[in-house]
Structure 1
Amino acid sequence: MTCLVTGFPSKIAALQFEWAWQNTHLTRHIAPDTRLTQAKSTVRISPKSGRARKRTARPRMCLTDKLANLHLLLRASSFERWPLKVIFYAEDIHRVWVKLTSQQIEKLRPGIEVNFDDSSKFSAAGELDEPVAPKGIHALDVGYTGFKERLERSKITFESADWLHCAICHKGLSSGGALTLVCPDEDCAALTHIECLSARFLQAGSNREAIVPTSGNCPGCATKLQWVDLVKELSLRMRGEKEVNAIFKKRRRTKKQADAAAADEASEESAEDEEMDDAIPQDDWHELPESSDVDIDEPVMRSDPSPALKSKAFKRPAPATSYSKPVIEDSDWDKAEVLA
């Protein structure tokens, strides 16, 4: 990634700008007489039907042409009032941009920022510095996580307040927060109608013909506010239920984090066991008799009754069984008469 344009108010707006940048010879955001590249039509005959079809071929553009078209789009009336930011990650591309913009007569609006991010450059040793915080593209907030605290404060404000009023017109506001803007400053509790704050920002601006404001000062704390940030918070609060649930959803721990947590718990348990062993005084331990002092006649209880662990010395002799001689009584047959 060498160049990135951010700060669009919505995904649809970003897609519109992307298509316009890729098709500057067709986009309606640029007047035909000011286009740097013109459309070229080609005729192709279908081999099946034999009909002629006209197609517009995309002209080939070099790096300078692409940057020139970007500068032209940023000056277009459709995008010039958006709080866009252009970030360059390659030093050679940034040098081409600086050289190109220095030759342009028309300059960009002051609200559009153009910066060069050198956080991904190699160190003098030839290795990347250890990242303490996300850098480069990874530092971009693409999931609205930066609005989490603001959404929490807005929810508490609308639920706890008995009566809400606008800080400009001093009229009542909707209890649900519809069409109500909230100041992002933690020490400020100013609430305004979106129409009231928009009119105030436009009156303080230099362009009287503008329809959408870009920035202005808060009527409560006079803090410099960006219009896109206020509208994003309002859109998330009113129509971004799916995005808000994703922000407040608890992240599941990965396997690596779970293994690390289990290792920490095991180390804590072992430390507690060592502390308990150290807390028991040595005098409380009972002295066990030596093996020679054990009486053989006394039964010894073992936890494992397997024959391999039984000792012959501890076996008790089996009791002797006495067998008496059988006694045969006189039979009654001797008194029987013999018949001839």
Structure 2
Amino acid sequence: MPVLPKPIPPLYAVYVLRSTVRHASLYIGSTPNPPRRLKQHNGEARGGAVRTSRTSLRPWEMIAIVSGFPSQVAALKFEWALTNPHLSLHIPSTSRLAISSQTKRNGQPRRPRASLASTMSNLHLLLRVPSFVRWPLRLHFFARDAHAAWEKWCAAAQASTPPHLAVVTDFGAEVPPAQESSSSAAAAAAAADHAHGIYRLALDYEPIRDYVAKGQDVFEFERLGRCVVCHEPMAAGEGVYAVCPGSGCEAVGHLSCWSRHMLGPDAHDAIIPVEGRCPRCKGHVAWGDMMKEASLRLRGSQEVRKLLGKKRKANS
């Protein structure tokens, strides 16, 4: 059966996991649902990874997450690069920080042991390379020492936070290391405030509900008019269009026109913008949100019905 195109997922994240019992033990993975995935790693739900199944290392905590990937495949590419910084082709050889000094039995380079400092330095590097720097990514820190390691590396590398990257800190879900046994750490984890940390991440499309509803109305009732950028007339079903996310603004334009306008005259070789301003209302436009709404409108009729709570006419 052919694989049907899907809308951009509401969340797909690459996470850094750490044992609360042995802080030197780290694990990198990806998931659309961090709270559920953490339960799997801690043996509270079926699933998880073999490397995190040792009871002597449980419970685990998520100390950092990168979100905003446009697809599962994009997140998996980033996950692999962060797990294998000594091999990833996303990192130029002249910029590589992780170097393998040993080989496996098959002759392939052995992965260097990761530490918090090395993980943060490679995370900083990957978020600046051309492959990922223009993606609408967001970096979340849930542990103070992880954030401190990030800031320390930024200072040491004399490089500020990568452009367009939002860095968010939320230390409310921190769990202290176990002092006597893993059971005491488990009790501390169970008592953690679930109103913080990974439990505050939006796992659905609710944050853009009003935007989606507006887009549905504009296109269902064919209030397209002329392109907000090139001013040429637009006909329903004859092109890929996007609508301004601003409240009360129904500016619609060709996708290519929006891109050209938001990139501006100094775009050079870039074809995908990160953010900009609407030509009509002058409001802020996040390219990632605009693409998420467009992908839901064009590919996610089921998700739209679930989000808006009523049936809507399918797009042709």
- Scaled to the shorter chain, the TM-score interval is 0.5 to 0.7
Q: Pick from 70, 80, 98 the counterpart of residue 151 of structure 2.
A: 98
Q: Compute the TM-score of the two structures, normalised by the length of structure 1.
A: 0.63
The aligned counterpart of 2:303 is 243
Please tell me whether the aligned partners of residues 213 and 308 of structure 2 are also in contact (alpha carbons under 8 angstroms).
no
The aligned counterpart of 2:20 is none
Q: Which amino acid aligns with 1:141?
A: A
The aligned counterpart of 2:89 is 28
Shift of the 43–112 alpha-carbon distance from structure 1 to 2, 3 Å rule, reads closer
The aligned counterpart of 1:218 is 278
Kindly state the Cα deviation for residue 41 of structure 1 after the two structures are TM-superposed.
5.9
The aligned counterpart of 2:166 is 113
Which structure 2 residues correspond to residues 44-193 of structure 1 after superposition, within 5 A?
44=105, 53-120=106-173, 134-161=195-222, 164-176=225-237, 178-193=239-254
Counterpart CA distance in 1 for 2:104 and 2:162 is: 41
Task: Identify the structure with the greater helix proportion.
Answer: 1
**Could you tell which deviates more after superposition, 231-240 or 135-144?**
135-144
* Alpha-carbon RMSD: 2.7
Shift of the 164–34 alpha-carbon distance from structure 1 to 2, 3 Å rule, reads same
- Name structure 1 gaps, 5 residues minimum: 45-52, 251-340
Counterpart CA distance in 1 for 2:193 and 2:112 is: 43
Secondary structure of the 1:208 match is coil
The aligned counterpart of 2:22 is none
Counterpart CA distance in 2 for 1:82 and 1:163 is: 28
Counterpart CA distance in 2 for 1:202 and 1:79 is: 17
- 1:2 corresponds to 2:55: no
Q: Which has the higher contact order (CA 8 A, sep 6+)?
A: 2
The aligned counterpart of 1:200 is 261
Secondary structure of the 1:4 match is strand
Shift of the 88–239 alpha-carbon distance from structure 1 to 2, 3 Å rule, reads same
Q: Which amino acid aligns with 2:84?
A: N
Please tell me whether the aligned partners of residues 169 and 196 of structure 1 are also in contact (alpha carbons under 8 angstroms).
yes
Q: Pick from 59, 62, 74 the counterpart of residue 13 of structure 1.
A: 74
Kindly state the Cα deviation for residue 43 of structure 1 after the two structures are TM-superposed.
5.7
Counterpart CA distance in 2 for 1:20 and 1:130 is: 32
Kindly state the Cα deviation for residue 135 of structure 1 after the two structures are TM-superposed.
3.1
The aligned counterpart of 1:229 is 289
Deviations 1:243-284 (A, max 9, x none): 33443468xxxxxxxxxxxxxxxxxxxxxxxxxxxxxxxxxx
Counterpart CA distance in 2 for 1:34 and 1:4 is: 23
Kindly state the Cα deviation for residue 2 of structure 1 after the two structures are TM-superposed.
0.7
Q: Which amino acid aligns with 1:218?
A: C
How many residues align structurally?
236
Q: Which amino acid aligns with 2:229?
A: I
Counterpart CA distance in 1 for 2:215 and 2:237 is: 10
Please tell me whether the aligned partners of residues 158 and 176 of structure 1 are also in contact (alpha carbons under 8 angstroms).
no
The aligned counterpart of 1:328 is none
Please tell me whether the aligned partners of residues 178 and 238 of structure 1 are also in contact (alpha carbons under 8 angstroms).
no
Please tell me whether the aligned partners of residues 218 and 224 of structure 2 are also in contact (alpha carbons under 8 angstroms).
no
Identity level (%) = 36
- Name structure 2 gaps, 5 residues minimum: 1-61, 176-187, 311-316
Counterpart CA distance in 2 for 1:146 and 1:173 is: 28
Please tell me whether the aligned partners of residues 166 and 172 of structure 1 are also in contact (alpha carbons under 8 angstroms).
yes
Shift of the 177–223 alpha-carbon distance from structure 1 to 2, 3 Å rule, reads farther
Kindly state the Cα deviation for residue 80 of structure 1 after the two structures are TM-superposed.
1.0
Kindly state the Cα deviation for residue 232 of structure 1 after the two structures are TM-superposed.
1.1
Q: Which amino acid aligns with 1:99?
A: K
Which is greater in Rg? 1
Kindly state the Cα deviation for residue 162 of structure 1 after the two structures are TM-superposed.
5.8
Secondary structure of the 1:171 match is coil
Secondary structure of the 2:109 match is strand
Counterpart CA distance in 1 for 2:223 and 2:147 is: 53
Secondary structure of the 1:34 match is coil
Q: Which amino acid aligns with 2:69?
A: F
